[in-house]
Amino acid sequence: MSMLDRVLAALPALPPAERRVAKLVLADARSFASLPIGELAERSQVSKPTVVRFCRSVGYDGLADFKLKLAGVVNEGVPFMHRAVDENDKAGDIIVKVIDNAVSALLKYRNDAAGHAFGRAIEALASACRKGRRIEFYGVGNSGIVAQDAQHKFFRLGVAASAVSDGHVQLMSATMLQPGDCAVIVSNSGRSRDLLDAAEIARCKGATTIVITASGSPLAHASNGVQHVLLAADHPEDHDRYSPMVSRLLHLVIIDILTTGVALLLGAELRPMLAEIKRNLRSKRYA
């Protein structure tokens, strides 16, 4: 168990005052390791002795011992932990938390991503590209923006893909799919009725459905069978947040992985066209 895991596990058993100190550690471990005891007590709204008692309660000799070991943990890398932004945070705190949240989520995903699932998805997309089959990207809200980015990336590969964010058009699009086509469905919550309906229709039509969503969501549970691929994108961010930045970054990275994989499989077929595109784009730049 890591140091931060130990603090988290001890949280329910701590007295209320010490619990506030623990929450400060979990919210911003890097700052806790460097701040003086007076500021730690002020931020936690406890006394200085309470800060020391907390350190002993979780198994350390005192504040100095706790901060020394915590600094070592922080310096090893960004902890795999989501740190919520607080209304009292200063600009510097917001910068650190937002970036750390993004970096930690990406590193965790790197370790957790299922290579076999990505391999299946890349093969299906590359096959659709070679055979001139349809590739449709479905998403609503923030996920609709990711779908547009995916369409743009595949367009640059010379693939006539489409991005659809309107629920009615998604149903019409899914109805026209056939075996060999691909429907890539992006959803943070995995609970959108429009996307669930579109996924079911695409499945019934025999198309390959590639679903980018949380592993425990209804959309994920609907993704089973030979022609269905789940690319689980799990993260600690609440899908009800007004601005779900971490999930969007994860989804964009997944799209980048798929695009890169398809480009590598197509290989020599793409190089002449990509070179010509670059030559033509030079005329649009001033220098």
Q: Is residue 215 exposed (0-12), middle (13-18) or buried (19+ Cβ within 10 Å)?
A: middle
Q: Both tokens of residue 232?
A: 């689980």
- Comparing C-alpha atoms, which of 197, 203, 205, 208 is closest to residue 121? 208
pTM of the shown model: 0.70
8 A C-beta contact, residue 227 and residue 208 = yes
Name all domains of the chain by residue range, CATH numbers in brackets.
1-77 (1.10.10.10), 115-282 (3.40.50.10490)
Distance from C-alpha of 85 to C-alpha of 98, rounded to nearest angstrom: 8
pLDDT at position 1 is: 47
pLDDT at position 76 is: 59
pLDDT at position 104 is: 78
pLDDT at position 157 is: 86
pLDDT at position 272 is: 80
- CB neighbours (10 Å) of residue 8? 17
Q: Average pLDDT for consecutive 10-residue bins of the chain (287 residues)?
A: 79 91 89 90 93 90 88 65 72 82 81 85 94 95 94 89 95 96 94 94 95 90 81 71 74 95 85 79 77
Distance from C-alpha of 78 to C-alpha of 60, rounded to nearest angstrom: 22
Which amino acid is located at 215 in the chain? S
8 A C-beta contact, residue 97 and residue 245 = no
Predicted confidence (pLDDT) per residue in 198-243, tens digit: 999 999 999 999 999 988 889 988 767 778 999 988 876 655 554 5
* Rounded alpha-carbon distances, angstroms, from residue 151 to 19, 111, 181, 187, 196: 47, 27, 15, 16, 20
Q: Both tokens of residue 110?
A: 């790197």
Between the two ends of the chain, the Cα-to-Cα distance in Å is: 55
Q: Give pairs for 211-216: CB < 8 Å, separation 24+.
A: 211/184, 211/185, 211/187, 212/146, 212/184, 212/185, 212/186, 212/187, 212/251, 212/254, 212/255, 213/185, 213/186, 213/187, 213/188, 213/189, 214/188, 214/189, 214/190, 214/239, 216/190
